[in-house]
Chains A and B, each alone.
Chain A
Amino acid sequence: GAVVSQHPSWVICKSGTSVKIECRSLDFQATTMFWYRQFPKQSLMLMATSNEGSKATYEQGVEKDKFLINHASLTLSTLTVTSAHPEDSSFYICSASQDRGFIGTDTQYFGPGTRLTVL
Protein backbone atom coordinates (compact mmCIF):
# COMPACT_ATOMS: atom_id res chain seq x y z
CA GLY A 1 0.00 0.00 0.00
CA ALA A 2 0.82 3.71 0.17
CA VAL A 3 1.82 4.17 -3.43
CA VAL A 4 2.42 7.59 -4.89
CA SER A 5 2.79 8.13 -8.61
CA GLN A 6 4.05 11.07 -10.62
CA HIS A 7 3.44 11.98 -14.20
CA PRO A 8 5.34 12.54 -16.34
CA SER A 9 8.50 10.80 -15.23
CA TRP A 10 10.54 13.10 -17.40
CA VAL A 11 9.84 16.13 -19.54
CA ILE A 12 11.86 18.35 -21.84
CA CYS A 13 10.50 21.77 -22.70
CA LYS A 14 11.55 25.01 -24.30
CA SER A 15 12.40 28.04 -22.26
CA GLY A 16 9.34 30.18 -21.61
CA THR A 17 6.80 27.39 -21.67
CA SER A 18 4.86 26.02 -18.71
CA VAL A 19 5.01 22.46 -17.49
CA LYS A 20 2.54 20.64 -15.26
CA ILE A 21 3.56 17.74 -13.05
CA GLU A 22 0.96 15.51 -11.42
CA CYS A 23 1.27 13.69 -8.13
CA ARG A 24 -1.29 11.04 -7.22
CA SER A 25 -1.82 8.89 -4.18
CA LEU A 26 -3.09 5.60 -5.57
CA ASP A 27 -4.40 3.75 -2.57
CA PHE A 28 -4.91 6.27 0.18
CA GLN A 29 -6.25 9.72 0.74
CA ALA A 30 -3.48 12.25 0.91
CA THR A 31 -4.58 15.09 3.12
CA THR A 32 -1.20 16.70 2.79
CA MET A 33 1.18 16.65 -0.15
CA PHE A 34 4.69 17.98 -0.31
CA TRP A 35 6.77 19.11 -3.25
CA TYR A 36 10.54 18.77 -3.16
CA ARG A 37 13.32 19.71 -5.50
CA GLN A 38 16.49 17.68 -5.69
CA PHE A 39 19.69 18.91 -7.28
CA PRO A 40 22.35 16.42 -8.34
CA LYS A 41 24.29 15.05 -5.38
CA GLN A 42 22.35 17.27 -3.04
CA SER A 43 19.59 16.99 -0.54
CA LEU A 44 15.89 17.22 -1.15
CA MET A 45 14.71 20.74 -0.56
CA LEU A 46 11.11 21.27 0.41
CA MET A 47 9.42 23.75 -1.90
CA ALA A 48 5.89 23.80 -0.58
CA THR A 49 3.29 22.01 1.44
CA SER A 50 -0.25 21.70 0.23
CA ASN A 51 -3.32 20.65 2.12
CA GLU A 52 -6.35 19.52 0.22
CA GLY A 53 -8.72 22.36 -0.41
CA SER A 54 -6.46 25.14 0.78
CA LYS A 55 -3.64 27.24 -0.57
CA ALA A 56 -0.15 25.85 -0.54
CA THR A 57 2.42 27.04 1.97
CA TYR A 58 5.67 27.90 0.25
CA GLU A 59 9.11 27.72 1.76
CA GLN A 60 11.19 30.83 1.97
CA GLY A 61 12.80 31.67 -1.33
CA VAL A 62 10.36 29.70 -3.48
CA GLU A 63 8.43 31.87 -5.92
CA LYS A 64 4.78 31.04 -5.57
CA ASP A 65 3.91 32.68 -8.87
CA LYS A 66 6.43 30.56 -10.66
CA PHE A 67 5.65 27.25 -9.00
CA LEU A 68 1.88 26.96 -8.90
CA ILE A 69 0.54 24.21 -6.71
CA ASN A 70 -2.99 22.92 -6.74
CA HIS A 71 -4.35 20.25 -4.41
CA ALA A 72 -7.94 20.01 -5.51
CA SER A 73 -8.67 16.47 -4.36
CA LEU A 74 -7.49 14.00 -1.76
CA THR A 75 -5.59 12.00 -4.36
CA LEU A 76 -4.14 14.61 -6.69
CA SER A 77 -1.79 17.54 -6.44
CA THR A 78 -0.23 19.37 -9.36
CA LEU A 79 2.87 21.50 -9.66
CA THR A 80 3.01 23.87 -12.61
CA VAL A 81 6.33 25.45 -13.47
CA THR A 82 5.37 28.63 -15.28
CA SER A 83 7.60 30.30 -17.86
CA ALA A 84 10.28 27.72 -17.28
CA HIS A 85 13.94 28.62 -17.66
CA PRO A 86 17.05 26.44 -17.79
CA GLU A 87 17.77 27.09 -14.11
CA ASP A 88 14.46 25.39 -13.30
CA SER A 89 15.85 22.14 -14.65
CA SER A 90 15.85 19.72 -11.77
CA PHE A 91 14.35 16.59 -10.28
CA TYR A 92 10.98 17.28 -8.68
CA ILE A 93 9.64 14.84 -6.13
CA CYS A 94 6.29 14.82 -4.41
CA SER A 95 5.30 13.03 -1.27
CA ALA A 96 1.99 12.44 0.39
CA SER A 97 0.78 11.95 3.91
CA GLN A 98 -2.53 10.95 5.38
CA ASP A 99 -1.99 13.42 8.20
CA ARG A 100 -2.82 17.05 8.08
CA GLY A 101 -0.03 19.19 9.41
CA PHE A 102 1.70 16.70 11.68
CA ILE A 103 3.52 13.60 10.68
CA GLY A 104 4.50 12.44 14.09
CA THR A 105 2.64 9.19 13.71
CA ASP A 106 2.67 8.92 9.98
CA THR A 107 5.25 9.12 7.29
CA GLN A 108 5.52 10.70 3.93
CA TYR A 109 5.29 8.39 0.95
CA PHE A 110 7.34 9.52 -1.98
CA GLY A 111 6.65 9.54 -5.67
CA PRO A 112 9.28 8.41 -8.17
CA GLY A 113 10.10 11.95 -9.22
CA THR A 114 9.95 13.94 -12.45
CA ARG A 115 13.05 15.00 -14.31
CA LEU A 116 12.52 18.43 -15.87
CA THR A 117 14.93 19.70 -18.48
CA VAL A 118 14.41 23.19 -19.84
CA LEU A 119 16.25 23.97 -23.05
Chain B
Amino acid sequence: AQSVSQHNHHVILSEAASLELGCNYSYGGTVNLFWYVQYPGQHLQLLLKYFSGDPLVKGIKGFEAEFIKSKFSFNLRKPSVQWSDTAEYFCAVYPVGSGNTGKLIFGQGTTLQVKP
Protein backbone atom coordinates (compact mmCIF):
# COMPACT_ATOMS: atom_id res chain seq x y z
CA ALA B 1 0.00 0.00 0.00
CA GLN B 2 1.11 3.54 -0.66
CA SER B 3 2.35 5.33 2.41
CA VAL B 4 4.22 8.39 3.56
CA SER B 5 6.58 8.34 6.47
CA GLN B 6 7.85 11.30 8.44
CA HIS B 7 10.59 10.06 10.69
CA ASN B 8 10.74 13.03 13.03
CA HIS B 9 7.67 13.21 15.20
CA HIS B 10 8.74 16.08 17.43
CA VAL B 11 11.62 18.41 16.79
CA ILE B 12 12.83 21.10 19.16
CA LEU B 13 15.23 23.74 17.90
CA SER B 14 16.57 27.06 19.02
CA GLU B 15 16.08 30.11 16.86
CA ALA B 16 18.60 30.42 14.01
CA ALA B 17 19.23 26.68 13.97
CA SER B 18 18.94 24.85 10.68
CA LEU B 19 16.01 22.54 10.02
CA GLU B 20 15.61 19.38 8.05
CA LEU B 21 12.46 17.27 8.23
CA GLY B 22 12.47 13.91 6.58
CA CYS B 23 9.77 12.54 4.32
CA ASN B 24 9.84 9.23 2.51
CA TYR B 25 7.12 7.64 0.45
CA SER B 26 6.40 4.25 -0.97
CA TYR B 27 5.25 4.36 -4.58
CA GLY B 28 7.20 3.37 -7.61
CA GLY B 29 5.54 5.63 -10.13
CA THR B 30 5.29 9.33 -10.77
CA VAL B 31 4.34 11.46 -7.80
CA ASN B 32 3.43 15.00 -7.01
CA LEU B 33 4.80 16.09 -3.66
CA PHE B 34 3.68 18.65 -1.12
CA TRP B 35 4.61 20.08 2.23
CA TYR B 36 1.86 21.66 4.30
CA VAL B 37 2.14 23.60 7.53
CA GLN B 38 -0.48 23.94 10.24
CA TYR B 39 0.14 26.77 12.68
CA PRO B 40 -1.52 26.47 16.09
CA GLY B 41 -5.24 26.98 15.73
CA GLN B 42 -5.07 27.51 11.98
CA HIS B 43 -5.82 25.49 8.88
CA LEU B 44 -3.37 23.65 6.70
CA GLN B 45 -1.43 25.89 4.34
CA LEU B 46 0.69 24.90 1.38
CA LEU B 47 4.40 25.53 1.92
CA LEU B 48 5.66 24.20 -1.37
CA LYS B 49 4.99 21.63 -4.03
CA TYR B 50 6.85 19.62 -6.61
CA PHE B 51 5.34 18.37 -9.83
CA SER B 52 8.30 18.17 -12.23
CA GLY B 53 11.49 19.94 -13.25
CA ASP B 54 14.15 21.16 -10.86
CA PRO B 55 14.10 18.77 -7.90
CA LEU B 56 15.03 21.58 -5.54
CA VAL B 57 11.86 23.47 -4.82
CA LYS B 58 11.61 26.77 -3.03
CA GLY B 59 8.51 27.65 -1.08
CA ILE B 60 7.22 30.39 1.10
CA LYS B 61 8.87 31.73 4.26
CA GLY B 62 12.34 30.56 3.28
CA PHE B 63 11.53 26.87 3.12
CA GLU B 64 12.82 24.57 0.44
CA ALA B 65 12.61 20.87 -0.30
CA GLU B 66 14.60 18.48 -2.41
CA PHE B 67 13.10 15.59 -4.31
CA ILE B 68 15.49 12.65 -4.55
CA LYS B 69 13.77 10.11 -6.72
CA SER B 70 16.25 7.32 -6.03
CA LYS B 71 15.63 7.64 -2.32
CA PHE B 72 11.87 8.24 -2.58
CA SER B 73 12.43 11.26 -0.39
CA PHE B 74 11.24 14.85 -0.24
CA ASN B 75 12.94 16.44 2.75
CA LEU B 76 12.04 19.91 3.93
CA ARG B 77 14.77 22.36 4.88
CA LYS B 78 15.20 25.84 6.24
CA PRO B 79 18.64 27.28 6.99
CA SER B 80 17.58 29.38 9.96
CA VAL B 81 14.32 28.83 11.83
CA GLN B 82 12.36 31.46 13.69
CA TRP B 83 10.07 31.19 16.67
CA SER B 84 7.15 31.81 14.30
CA ASP B 85 7.95 28.56 12.50
CA THR B 86 6.57 26.63 15.45
CA ALA B 87 3.87 24.48 13.86
CA GLU B 88 2.89 21.05 12.63
CA TYR B 89 4.39 20.06 9.27
CA PHE B 90 2.85 17.49 6.97
CA CYS B 91 4.36 15.87 3.93
CA ALA B 92 1.85 14.68 1.33
CA VAL B 93 2.14 12.63 -1.80
CA TYR B 94 -0.13 12.38 -4.80
CA PRO B 95 0.53 9.17 -6.73
CA VAL B 96 -0.06 10.00 -10.36
CA GLY B 97 -1.69 7.17 -12.16
CA SER B 98 -4.83 5.49 -13.24
CA GLY B 99 -7.50 5.31 -10.63
CA ASN B 100 -6.32 8.17 -8.48
CA THR B 101 -9.06 10.76 -8.36
CA GLY B 102 -7.36 13.28 -6.19
CA LYS B 103 -6.37 11.32 -3.13
CA LEU B 104 -3.49 12.86 -1.21
CA ILE B 105 -1.61 10.58 1.14
CA PHE B 106 -0.35 12.37 4.21
CA GLY B 107 2.47 11.59 6.56
CA GLN B 108 1.76 11.56 10.27
CA GLY B 109 3.16 15.02 10.76
CA THR B 110 6.11 16.53 12.58
CA THR B 111 5.69 18.96 15.41
CA LEU B 112 8.33 21.66 15.29
CA GLN B 113 8.93 23.68 18.40
CA VAL B 114 11.30 26.63 18.10
CA LYS B 115 12.61 28.09 21.31
CA PRO B 116 13.28 31.83 21.34
CB proximity to B under 8 Å, residues A88-102: 93, 95, 97, 99, 101-102
At the interface, yes or no: A49 with Cβ under 8 Å from chain B? yes
The listed residue with most A CB atoms (<10 A of its CB), out of B42, B46, B100, B101, is B101
The complex places the Cα of A95 from the Cα of B36 at a distance, in Å, of 13
A34: chain B residues at CB < 8 Å are: 102-104
The complex places the Cα of A34 from the Cα of B105 at a distance, in Å, of 12
A44: chain B residues at CB < 8 Å are: 44, 90, 106
Q: Does the CB pair A104–B43 fall under 8 Å?
A: no
CB proximity to A under 8 Å, residues B67-116: 90, 94, 96, 100-104, 106-109
Chain B: minimal CB distance from A48 (Å): 10
Q: Does the CB pair A110–B102 fall under 8 Å?
A: no
A4, A104, A109: the one within 8 Å of B51 (CB): A104
A93: chain B residues at CB < 8 Å are: 43-44
Interface size range of chain A in the complex: 20 to 34
At the interface, yes or no: A82 with Cβ under 8 Å from chain B? no
B42, B46, B101, B108: the one within 8 Å of A101 (CB): B101
On whether A43 and B51 interact (CB within 8 A), knowing A93-B43, A107-B46, the answer reads no
Q: Does the CB pair B103–A46 fall under 8 Å?
A: yes
B49, B94, B102, B109: the one within 8 Å of A43 (CB): B109
The complex places the Cα of A112 from the Cα of B90 at a distance, in Å, of 15
Q: Does the CB pair A110–B44 fall under 8 Å?
A: yes
A43, A57, A112: the one within 8 Å of B43 (CB): A112
Q: Does the CB pair A43–B108 fall under 8 Å?
A: yes
Task: List 20 additional contacts besides A34-B103, A111-B43; criterion CB under 8 Å.
Answer: A4-B43, A32-B102, A34-B102, A41-B9, A42-B108, A43-B90, A45-B106, A57-B101, A95-B44, A101-B101, A102-B102, A103-B32, A103-B104, A104-B94, A107-B46, A108-B102, A108-B104, A109-B46, A110-B45, A112-B43
